[in-house]
Amino acid sequence: MMKRKEFMLGAIAGLTFAAAATAGGVIDWPSANAGPVAGFTGRLAPTAGASGLAFAPPQGAPLSFADIFAQVAPAVVQIDVKTRVAGGSQRFIQIPGLGAVPVPGAEGEPGEGAEDEGTTALGAGSGFFIAANGYIVTNNHVVADATEITVKLADGREMEARLVGRDEDTDLAVIKVDGTDFPFVSFEETAQPRVGDWVIAVGNPFGLGGTATAGIVSAQGRGEVDNNTPYTDYLQIDAAINRGNSGGPTFDIYGRVIGVNSAIYSPTGGSVGIGFAIPASVAKPITDRLMRGETIERGYLGVEIGNLDPFREAMGLPPGTRGALINSVTPGGPAERGGLRYGDVVVALNGQPVTTSSELTRRVGQARAGDTLRLEILRDGRRQTVNVRSGTRPSQAELQAGRGTGDGPDAPAPAPVGKVVAGLTVAPITPALRQRYEIPAGVEGVVVTQAGRGNAQGFQPGYVIMQARTRSITSIADLEAAVQAARSGGGDSLFLLVWTPRGNVPLAYELPDPE
């Protein structure tokens, strides 16, 4: 049995001390074609004069990472932040799948003054100079809520920093300190790291500044690590990443930045050998725009989507059909105004095939507000085209505020009414049932008034079945016909799109044996 893995940001360390690293200075940056780092052969074998070695590393393994670390460490900084936390002395961060997780060691200090309610929490992360005039790259989640930002340099200096800009959709931010001639590092824009290539992570884990860990790129294209960063295909690395490493750089063996450390998978909060870095191909264009003072804006449809693959068979679609399934449409948003509906399957955008929900999200994000998006969709088993004028994507806070979190009323349920279909008691939506279950206007279908025995798939009274297979449900007869069609085709499951108080949920409903 596979052990359960939980997502945890490799973010904020609560410890407040740091070890000094090597002194700064102008760095003579090597490149893959311009010759080796001083003292490093590039052949990854013992150098001349190393006859006293107990063993020679195999071909492809470096003799040591020490020369690389000496070159790049002056550009890496520790970032200490103060944030205002209302109503408590412990700082929490929201982790997908875990909820609110306390930050170790982030002790709060009582606020001062009548207007200063709440507490001050301390946290720390990592960052790195990207320009000689003081621009520093880090993670958005390190500095997003900071009221004060202090940067500790490798030579021991401490400097106040200001926030230049941030992009929560890629978890990137740029801060700045005053001064010139800071040692800096550069993003690698051309040579793409391969699975198996060496990497070095440098940062401030648990407040222990100046820390280096090494490993390899263990996977690429991890696009669904964090739902809050839908525009990033992460690099997966096995160099140890811990709390406080967030925002620090991942280097290749030429001292070039190939990623920005951002997250880990861990059941404990410590490294278990699976870390994630925002690749340079994503980080550089975003940080360049932030340095210029630009606000990052992206196109917006106003839909919640998911991958089609888990539901293709249950929807009765041909094998090989690929696309993005629209689970819900934001009222008044661009998609609704353009005529998109829940249950539509987007198979192409502007003439190019769409194979996954992530692909659709990123390609829509590349549009500008006002651009026309030509979407080819499957609806009711037929292919058609819908044109939607793109909006501007709201912030994460605005998107979250628009999602209901209620669980419905707490009063006892009335006696179930309706007809049993495939193990569920369903009824037409009447004004009384709409009021009873607080079903919003515009939600149509049949309402579940009693779940089946066992209820393994989580149905609750008040849920509304809006679609079965590829067709909208307007009556109990529609649902019965969909069940019969699935069984006639030899299927043992039926695609349903279900309204719940927490949002629309697609599922492949396991059909019970006919009675």
Where in the sequence numbering do the catalytic residues fall? 141, 171, 246
Question: What distance in Å separates the CA atoms of residue 164 and residue 166, rounded to the nearest whole number?
Answer: 7
Q: Residue 390 to residues 168, 197, 395: CA-CA distances in angstroms?
A: 20, 40, 16
At 202 the three-state DSSP class reads strand
Q: What is the DSSP letter of 356?
A: S
- Nearest residue to 104 via CA among 29, 223, 9: 9
Q: Are 240 and 184 in contact (CB under 8 A)?
A: no
Q: Name the β-bridge partners of 219.
A: 236
Residue 425: enclosing H or E segment and its boundaries?
strand 424-428
Beta strands 257-265; 249-251: pairing state: antiparallel
Distance (Å, rounded) from C-alpha 332 to C-alpha 301? Answer: 11
How long is the chain? 515
What torsion, rounded to 10 degrees, do the Cα atoms 244, 234, 375, 439 define? -40
| Cβ atoms of residues 434 and 464 within 8 Å | no
Question: Which residues, in sequence order, are CB contacts of 92 under 8 Å at separation 6+?
Answer: 100, 101, 102, 103
3-state secondary structure string across 133-191: CCEEEECHHHHCCEEEEEEECCCCCEEEEEEEEEECCCCEEEEECCCCCCCCCCECCCC
CB 392 within 8 A of CB 300: yes
In degrees rounded to 5, what are phi and psi of residue 400? -65, -35
Residue pair 161/177 in contact (Cβ under 8 Å)? The answer is yes
